[in-house]
Amino acid sequence: MNLLFNEIFYSIQGEGPNLGKPAIFLRFGACNLRCTWCDSKFTWDPKVSDNFQTTTDEILRKIKIYPCKHLVITGGEPMLQQKAIAEILKALPGYTAEIETNGSMECR
């Protein structure tokens, strides 16, 4: 499945109940809002965007390189690409995930 993606990286979760936990961050491109205070404007503003098209297979290959099994799915608004997220999570039994969302999308 194709998806609009921005970056993948390994770091430490800096907020929420998993604070301090190593994580693989998956930053999806696109957002349905245009918040002036957004700290991820580069994921949706065409003037500064560095998004690219990729496949879930390519993302899965990259995820498996990293030494942990905790995903932080963020964006943009990752829920715009729910089918791709579902495909990725289904292919990764044993991984945990949290999704950082603006809350404007209905889960399907």
Confidence of residue 6 (pLDDT cuts 50, 70, 90): very high
pLDDT in tens, 44-72: 887 888 899 999 999 999 999 999 999 99
73 forms bridges with which residues in the sheet?
A: 26, 99
What percentage of the chain carries pLDDT values higher than 90? Answer: 80
In angstroms, the CA 106 to CA 28 distance is 17
The predicted structure's pLDDT at residue 81: 95
- The pTM (predicted TM-score) of the whole model is 0.93
CA 71 to chain centre: 8
Which position has the higher pLDDT, 34 or 85?
A: 85
Beta carbons of 78 and 97 less than 8 angstroms apart = no
Residue pointed to by tokens 């990752």? 78
What angle do helix axes 82-90 and 56-63 make, rounded to 10 degrees?
A: 50
